[in-house]
Amino acid sequence: MENKIQHILQLLNIKEINKGSSTGSHWFYGENLTSIFSPVDGEEIAKVSFASKEVYDKTVEQAEKAFVIWRNWPAPKRGEIVRQIGEALRAHKSALGTLVSYEMGKSLQEGLGEVQEMIDICDFAVGLSRQLYGLTMHSERPQHRMYEQWHPLGAVGIISAFNFPVAVWTWNAVLAWVCGNVCIWKPSEKTPLTAIACQQIISKVFEENKVPEGVSCLLCGDSILGEKLARDSKIALLSATGSTRMGKAVAQAVAARLGKYLLELGGNNAIIISAEADLDMSLIGAVFGAVGTAGQRCTSTRRLIIHESVYHTFKEKLVKAYGQLKIGNPLDEQNHVGPLIDKQAVALYLAAIEKCKAQGGNFIVEGGVLSGEVYTSGCYVKPCIAEVEPHFDIVKTETFAPILYIMKYKSLDEAIAIQNDVPQGLSSAIMTNNLREAELFLSVNGSDCGIANVNIGTSGAEIGGAFGGEKETGGGRESGSDAWRAYMRRQTNTINYSTQLPLAQGIKFDI
């Protein structure tokens, strides 16, 4: 494995991971080296140094200088840079996807899929660079024209999470870039090597196009660095992905300086399995949603709300499907489930199981930590299923692990009430062939989540739609649709081309 990863690092041009700064991208390193371990085999991948206060200050200063230049590049020209980034990602898809899989622990197919998501958002952003539209309004005053336009904000801070170590950064960064902003990225301290790889990939593109130094900045560090970004008035917008606890701290710090923030936080996602559902199709959506990325997606399926008439039949299908899951090295494409990110995540998984049992949960598929030659990292766990009641506290808590809670319902109104009765509001789904049920689920009386699906699971979003959720999920929107507006400031303009100065609302002021 070590030889393979070293080969991957060479392909990604990662030679000195603790040095380096190329035109357009910018990163400094301090002296404090932190070891990065893979959850796949427990081996150390590299040592990465975390940024000091001095390094942080220099980086923000460099970003500010770059913004003054970059904001004056025409948006389509900025879009051309992003197009080339997309091409560079295509060329490095296999190597970067493999590194994502090894550093984070998700399956190779999911690692490659994450890089494809980066490519897709680049394609989206290229088109967007020619569509930063404003409105024209009719003025109540004669010979006046009113319109609105959008300007870049400045420095955009991006705090990304370990579970999507590169894709969510791209969701933010490429939109921010075509809008004329510069970006400062703090990746998760658990997955910094993939971030360094991304900087290496885009550096060549930036250098060839003479992009100003500091348009893309990388700062590796822990929560202390995140706090600096949150409290820094020079950061015009802070986009943070992570836990609800982290998001609340970010929101308070940014709001204290009246700054802007975009939050993508926890999810506690449910699928309603109707009496009129295609149970075989529902099984695929439920199992992938629950065990994909070892349950470490914010859109992972954590609850199944099953109609009482099909409950036992579907439960039997679930137990049989879980019995066929293959758990092991995620770089082996025969395996369905890889490891959790680290032993701390394993401890939280075990604690959630114990809490569920203490509250009355009945595990029909038992959990546990796997051991043996294949599982030397100590991060591999068994996906498990518990029969519960909807009101259990543990059911309303997000645990980033492959624990699935199943429960019964009688009426659709009851199912929707159960679905909505959690603090989080990210993704939701209903499996049904009944048009009325589907439409009710999507109506104002249905799901209260930012994402509501029919006959697909909760996990896996396309970049064309705005991604995000409500309640404790934070209310932010990233990726497609009009999410670009979060990275810009709106300005309303009025032009008087008459020889008079009429006032609005018919006010007279003669002197």
Residue 502: inside a domain: no
In a domain, 500, yes or no: no
* Interval 255-274: pLDDT, tens: 999 999 999 999 999 999 99
126 and 255, same domain (yes or no)? yes
Strand positions, DSSP E, 283-442: 301-307, 362-365, 384-387, 403-409, 424-425, 427-431
Task: Give the pLDDT confidence score for residue 184 in this predicted structure.
Answer: 98
Q: For residue 292, give the 3-state DSSP assignment.
A: helix
297 shares a domain with 240: no
195 or 26, which is more confident?
195
Q: Is residue 143 part of a domain?
A: yes
2-57 tens-digit pLDDT: 566 666 777 676 655 544 444 455 544 445 788 999 999 999 988 888 999 999 99
Q: Give residue 307's domain range.
A: 269-462
Task: Output the pLDDT for position 27.
Answer: 47
Compute the distance between CA of residue 212 and CA of residue 207 in angstroms, rounded to an integer.
9
Does 190 reside within a domain? Answer: yes
Q: What CATH number does residue 160 fall under?
A: 3.40.605.10
pLDDT over 90 at 240, yes or no: yes
43 and 76 fall within a common domain: yes
Task: For residues 286 and 205, state if they share a domain.
Answer: no
The per-residue pLDDT for 348 is 98
467 within domain boundaries: no
Task: Mark whether 333 and 188 lie in a shared domain.
Answer: no
Give a yes or no: residue 352 inside a domain: yes
Grade residue 425 by pLDDT with cuts at 50, 70 and 90: very high
275 and 261 share one domain: no
Q: What is the pLDDT of residues 70-106, one digit of tens each?
A: 999 999 999 999 999 999 999 999 999 999 999 999 9
In-domain check, residue 440? yes
What average pLDDT does the structure give for the chain? 94
pLDDT at 23: 45
pLDDT in the model for residue 377: 97
The verdict on residue 498 lying in a domain is no
| Same structural domain, 483 and 440 | no
Strand-pairing partners, residue 159, are 186, 240
295 and 394 assigned to the same domain: yes
Which has more pLDDT, 511 or 94? 94
Helix ranges, 339-448 (H)? 343-358, 412-420, 435-442
264 is catalytic: yes
User: With pLDDT > 70 as the criterion, what percentage of the chain qualifies?
Assistant: 94
**Position of tokens 């959008």?**
150
475-485 per-position pLDDT tens digit? 999 999 999 99
Q: Do 280 and 200 share a structural domain?
A: no
Q: What gap in Å lies between CA 267 and CA 356, rounded to an integer?
A: 18
Bridge-based pairing of strands 427-431 and 451-454 is parallel
Catalytic residue among 110, 114, 117, 264: 264
Decide: 406 and 306 in contact? Cβ < 8 Å.
yes
Do 449 and 379 fall into the same domain?
A: yes
115 and 28 fall within a common domain: yes
* Secondary structure of 182-239 as H, E, C letters: EEEEECCCCCHHHHHHHHHHHHHHHHHCCCCCCCEEECCCCHHHHHHHHHCCCEEEEE
Check pLDDT > 90 for residue 322.
Answer: yes
Look at the chain and report how many structural domains it folds into: 2
Q: How far is 269 from 288, CA to CA, in rounded Å?
A: 13
Mean pLDDT of all residues in 406-432: 98
218 in the same domain as 176 = yes
6 in Cβ contact with 102 (< 8 Å): no
Dist CA 123 CA 127 (whole Å): 7
Cα 342–chain centre separation: 19
What CATH number does the domain containing 273 carry?
3.40.309.10
